[in-house]
């Protein structure tokens, strides 16, 4: 089948749904039609058999969100103008371009976009038309949100993913359980047929098996013959200690399954970290600001400071400046390779919004006792110059 046939065919009409139908509607409509038209239910009825095949073919494309997208795109781009362009009147037929582009994958210069779209329709992505070749599964992107302490210490989080995976009912063969696909007699299982037209010789995906090399007479009821069904799976993902907000983690071979023995794609997890009410991060160091009173800094004290997993005592000497940062070694982010950041403790004077009369009186006494002290001698000196 040439690319033009694909685009000319109205798979939506074949399934009796509108082009805006949901995936569920398409599946439902296909199942209904497949039941009605199934050869077992219509022995000797050639028309029903033809319709049955057409419906299966339509579902083979529309039932796969990826293929459906490409089909829609191809129809949008080329659907209306196609007959006028190719015309079937000899010359350079559009389907020649499609055949070449599909065969050579994305290497075909200006037509690489076409090759992509149609390569996707005929098989999966680019070299799809070569049946049986191992193909790596697609990479999958997902996101997860963890809290601050999980990010610091590392965490094992369950991750729910919806992605195509090998159909469990037919174990990926696409055939109804108990039946097996047969080798396509048209292409002898190659998935490609060779054609020449004028000066052009090219291969194009076999129309009878849609480039797969196999024919499924009795499609699996679960996946409609694709061998792939959308499944939710729950993965347990290990987030390493010290992950930063918005960091992307790659999990090798946890993406979509490969085909024909190919490796699975990778899973990329973007990690969002919910900030902590008390702790902050600066690289591998953990930060904390401890409110203190003026007299604690002036007279000295011992502060008890929470750490990530316990507490430490912090000796504050008399006369410590407001805003000073203390470094507690090894109490930051501990990486797997053994390196550890520090806990950075900032002391910050908290000024009471309200004072009792007794406290006010005590402070007035204090002011009197320290009246000879100027907290800002440099400024005083500068102001003195200004007034001269
Ligand atoms: Zn199946
Ligand atoms: Zn074939």
Query: Ligand 2 mean position to 206 CA, how many Å?
Result: 4
**Residues 234 and 318 occupy one common structural domain:** no
Cα 161 from Cα 306, distance rounded (Å): 37
pLDDT recorded at residue 2: 47
Query: Ligand 2 mean position to 147 CA, how many Å?
Result: 53
Query: Ligand 2 mean position to 131 CA, how many Å?
Result: 9
Nearest ligand atom owner, CA of 222: 1
**Residues 249 and 362 occupy one common structural domain:** no
Per-residue pLDDT reduced to its tens digit, 260-302: 778 888 999 999 999 999 999 998 999 999 999 999 999 999 9
Q: What's the domain range around 153?
A: 133-181+216-274
CATH number of the domain residue 245 falls in: 2.60.260.20
pLDDT recorded at residue 279: 96
Yes or no: say if 202 and 98 are a contact pair by the CB < 8 Å rule.
no
Torsion angle in degrees (nearest 10) through CA of 332, 336, 338, 341: -20
CA distances from 330 to 273, 276, 345 (A): 22, 20, 13
Per-residue pLDDT reduced to its tens digit, 60-105: 888 888 888 877 877 776 554 333 333 333 333 344 444 443 333 3
Whether 36 is in a domain gets the answer no
Query: Ligand 1 mean position to 251 CA, how many Å?
Result: 27
pLDDT recorded at residue 86: 35
Query: Ligand 1 mean position to 230 CA, how many Å?
Result: 11
- What does the pLDDT profile of the chain (388 residues) look like in tens digits? 445 556 667 888 888 888 888 888 888 888 888 888 877 777 778 888 888 888 888 888 888 888 888 778 777 765 543 333 333 333 333 444 444 433 333 333 333 344 444 444 444 433 344 556 788 888 888 899 999 999 998 899 998 887 667 788 888 888 898 888 899 998 888 888 887 767 667 778 888 888 888 888 899 988 888 888 777 778 888 888 889 999 999 988 888 878 777 888 899 999 999 999 999 999 899 999 999 999 999 999 999 999 998 999 999 999 999 999 999 999 999 887 778 899 999 999 999 999 999 999 999 999 999 998 899 999 999 999 988 7
Cα 110 from Cα 108, distance rounded (Å): 6
Query: Which one of 255, 274, 293 terminates a domain?
Result: 274
pLDDT recorded at residue 132: 66
**Residues 253 and 153 occupy one common structural domain:** yes
Nearest to 285 by CA among 331, 324, 325: 331
Q: How many domains does the chain have?
A: 2
Annotated binding-site members for Zn(2+)? 167, 170, 184, 187, 206, 209, 220, 223
**Residues 268 and 284 occupy one common structural domain:** no
Yes or no: say if 19 and 10 are a contact pair by the CB < 8 Å rule.
no
Tokens representing 381?
A: 């000196």
Angle CA 114–120–126, to nearest 5: 75
Nearest to 57 by CA among 280, 236, 216: 216
Q: Write the Ramachandran bin of 281: left for phi over 0, alpha for psi from -120 to 50, otherwise beta.
A: beta
**Residues 296 and 382 occupy one common structural domain:** yes
**Residues 304 and 340 occupy one common structural domain:** yes
CA distances from 58 to 1, 2, 63, 258, 308 (A): 13, 15, 8, 24, 58
**Residues 149 and 265 occupy one common structural domain:** yes
pLDDT recorded at residue 5: 58
**Residues 269 and 360 occupy one common structural domain:** no
Yes or no: say if 259 and 134 are a contact pair by the CB < 8 Å rule.
yes
Query: Which one of 227, 249, 274 terminates a domain?
Result: 274
**Residues 226 and 250 occupy one common structural domain:** yes
Strand order in the sheet with 343-349: 280-282, 285-292, 343-349, 325-328
């Amino acid at each position: 089948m040439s690319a033009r046939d694909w685009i000319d065919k109205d798979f939506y009409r074949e399934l009796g749904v509108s082009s805006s139908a949901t995936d569920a509607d398409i599946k439902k409509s296909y199942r209904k039609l497949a039941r009605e038209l199934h050869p077992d239910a219509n022995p000797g009825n050639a028309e029903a058999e033809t319709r049955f095949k057409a419906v299966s073919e339509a579902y083979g494309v529309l039932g796969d969100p990826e293929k459906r997208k490409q089909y829609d795109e191809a129809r949008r781009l080329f659907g209306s103008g196609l007959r006028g362009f190719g015309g079937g009147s000899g010359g350079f037929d559009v389907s020649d371009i499609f055949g070449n582009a599909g065969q050579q994958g994305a290497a075909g210069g200006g037509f690489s976009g076409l090759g992509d779209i149609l390569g996707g329709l005929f098989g999966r992505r680019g070299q799809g038309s070569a049946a049986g070749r191992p193909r790596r599964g697609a990479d999958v992107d997902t996101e997860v949100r963890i809290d601050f302490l999980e990010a610091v210490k590392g965490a094992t989080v369950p991750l729910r993913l919806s992605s195509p995976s090998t159909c469990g009912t037919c174990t990926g063969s696409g055939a109804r359980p108990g039946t097996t696909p047969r080798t396509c007699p048209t292409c002898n299982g190659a998935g490609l047929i060779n054609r020449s037209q004028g000066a052009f010789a090219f291969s194009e995906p076999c129309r009878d098996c849609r480039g797969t090399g196999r024919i499924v007479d009795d499609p699996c009821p679960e996946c409609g013959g694709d061998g792939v069904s959308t499944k939710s799976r729950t993965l347990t993902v290990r987030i390493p200690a010290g992950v930063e907000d918005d960091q992307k983690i790659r999990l090798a071979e946890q993406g979509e399954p490969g085909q024909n023995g190919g490796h699975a794609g990778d899973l990329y997890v973007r990690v969002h970290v919910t900030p902590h009410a008390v702790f902050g991060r600066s690289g591998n160091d953990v930060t904390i600001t401890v409110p203190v009173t003026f007299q604690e800094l002036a007279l000295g004290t011992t502060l008890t400071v929470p750490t990530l997993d316990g507490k430490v005592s912090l000796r504050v000497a008399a006369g410590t400046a407001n805003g000073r940062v203390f470094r507690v070694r090894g109490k930051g982010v501990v990486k797997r390779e053994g390196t550890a950041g520090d806990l950075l403790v900032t002391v910050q004077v908290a000024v009471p919004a309200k004072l009792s009369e007794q406290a006010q009186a005590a402070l007035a006494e204090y002011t009197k006792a320290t009246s000879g002290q100027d907290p800002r001698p440099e400024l005083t000196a500068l102001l003195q110059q200004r007034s001269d």
